[in-house]
Amino acid sequence: MSIVLKDRSWNRLAVLGLDGLPLDLAVRLGKTLPNLGRIVAEATSVDAEIPELSPVNWTSMFTGEGPEGHGVFGFARFDPDTYESVPVNVEAVTCPTIFDRLGESGLVSRVINLPNTFPARPVRGMLVAGFVAEELQRAVHPPFLAAKLHEAGYEIEPETSDATRNPGALLKRLHRSLRHRKTALDMLWPDLGWDLFVFVLTETDRLFHFLFTAVTDELHPLHNQCMDFLRDWDDLLGDFLDRFEALPGPKRLMVLADHGFTELKTEVCLNTWLSKHGLMSLDFPPESEWDSSKISSQSKAFALDPGRIYLHRRSRFSRGSLRDTDADRLALEIKTGLEGLTHEGERVMERVFTGAELYTGPMRKRAPDLVCLARPGYDLKAKFGRTEVFGFHGRTGAHTMRGAIWYDSHGSRPARMRDVGKEILKHFNLGTE
């Protein structure tokens, strides 16, 4: 039976996002972190979309579509005329979001720290964008939230550029980031004037990238400091769960991660592999490892983050030289070569997909020709200017496609992230075709 508040009925759904949290590690940590333990007791797992990146997967969640439907295929958008790459943001999203659809039905959303929602679009409700958000003023809707959050000292994202050489500073910033998330939660939750509340904590992803082994190895010199941070994180989980339990019914809780995590075996740079096979070259030295603008017209293929490979087709790229028939043939050769790639006697790739195998939707024209899915522990990169295929560059953890934590108080079992978005819409009787 619904309650009536302000002359309307409510059937609230609260969504807690725990970026990068794998179920197996959550079960282990849940033995000592009591609030996480409340979740893992009945948790299962959900698969990430491929590639297993935050922008791809959170966008799939908040649209109910895969990359071929929403248009986000990786961390960066690539201009086929200038060859410039820029970080992806919500402007690349080509389909309605779940917040758009709820708003059209008169339902209110409140959203905090959801990746790939910058610059903030108008929604029926309130939104504080997450990674990658460039400035607070354009990261919020309605605009008045910016002044309130600024006054409270809110920061969008903790700095990680020096995390390798100064992990202690990273941990301090992550503690501070939790306080900022609670500040936003305290602002947006209390009046209960919402139907959907989405609260995402991305701090675990940052921790696991740089200090995964410090979390899992009790003998690591930074283990206790990592656990101190995770206890603070667990306290914030408890705050959110207590708020949910205090809600009048009917109500529903979902807890999810966008991808799993595991210990890093090695990074794998696909552009270096392509270069060593005579398939990719640069006209000039890149200004940074992200600088794709120097790709030569002689290149037959190139990779973009993390495992997207594009054949240099003349029909698609301004400097492209490959005919489509030649590109299709080369794609199969690259697929075979990468599926045979080994590191210290172990196969690196679980599978290399063709774009046609993964993508059939309206944004198929943006899709890569090949998408690589690495085996757990192999972290695919698409850097420009690296000289070695394999190596370590300051990180100790890597994303995985499988094993992300999932919990639903109503017992649903989505197969992958786009199905989470569909389940949210279904809760509000807005099912997709």
Give a three-class secondary structure readout of the chain: CCEECCCCEECEEEEEEECCCEHHHHHHHCCCCHHHHHHHCCCEEEECCCCCCHHHHHHHHHHCCCHHHHCCCCCEEECCCCCCEEECCHHHCCCCCHHHHHHHCCCCEEEEEECCCCCCCCCCEEEEECCCCCCHHHCEECCHHHHHHHHCCCCCCCCCCCCCCCHHHHHHHHHHHHHHHHHHHHHHCCCCCCCEEEEEECHHHHHHHHHHHHHHCCCCCCHHHHHHHHHHHHHHHHHHHHHHHHCCCCEEEEEECCCEEEECCEEEEHHHHHHHCCCCCECCCCCCCCCCCCECCCCCEEEECCCEEEECECCCCCCCCECHHHHHHHHHHHHHHHHCCEECCEECEEEEEEHHHHCCCCCHHHCCCEEEEECCCEEEECCCCCCCCEECCCCCEEEECCCEEEEECCCCCCCEHHHHHHHHHHHCCCCCC
pLDDT computed for residue 363 by the predictor: 86
pLDDT computed for residue 364 by the predictor: 85
Contact call for residues 155 and 180 (beta carbons, < 8 A): yes
pLDDT computed for residue 433 by the predictor: 52
Contact call for residues 129 and 145 (beta carbons, < 8 A): no
Domain positions in the chain are: 3-263+399-427, 266-391
C-beta atoms surrounding 166 within 10 Å:
12
pTM of the prediction? 0.95
Distant-in-sequence contacts of 139-148, Cβ < 8 A, 24+ apart: 145/187, 148/187
Identify the architecture of domain 3-263+399-427 in CATH.
3-Layer(aba) Sandwich (3.40)
pLDDT string in tens for the chain (433-residue length): 233 345 577 999 999 999 999 999 999 999 999 999 999 999 999 999 999 999 999 999 999 999 999 999 999 999 999 999 999 999 999 999 999 999 999 999 999 999 999 999 999 999 999 998 889 999 999 999 999 999 999 999 999 999 999 999 999 999 999 999 999 999 999 999 999 999 999 999 999 999 999 999 999 999 999 999 999 999 999 999 999 999 999 999 999 999 999 999 999 999 999 999 999 999 999 999 999 999 999 999 999 988 999 999 999 999 999 999 999 999 999 999 999 999 999 999 999 999 999 998 888 888 999 999 999 999 999 999 999 999 999 999 999 999 999 999 999 999 999 999 999 999 999 975 5
pLDDT computed for residue 4 by the predictor: 36
- Comparing CA positions, the residue from 266, 250, 226 lying closest to residue 347 is 266
370 CB-contact burial (10 Å; exposed 0-12 / middle 13-18 / buried 19+): buried
pLDDT computed for residue 431 by the predictor: 77
- Rg, C-alpha atoms of the chain: 22
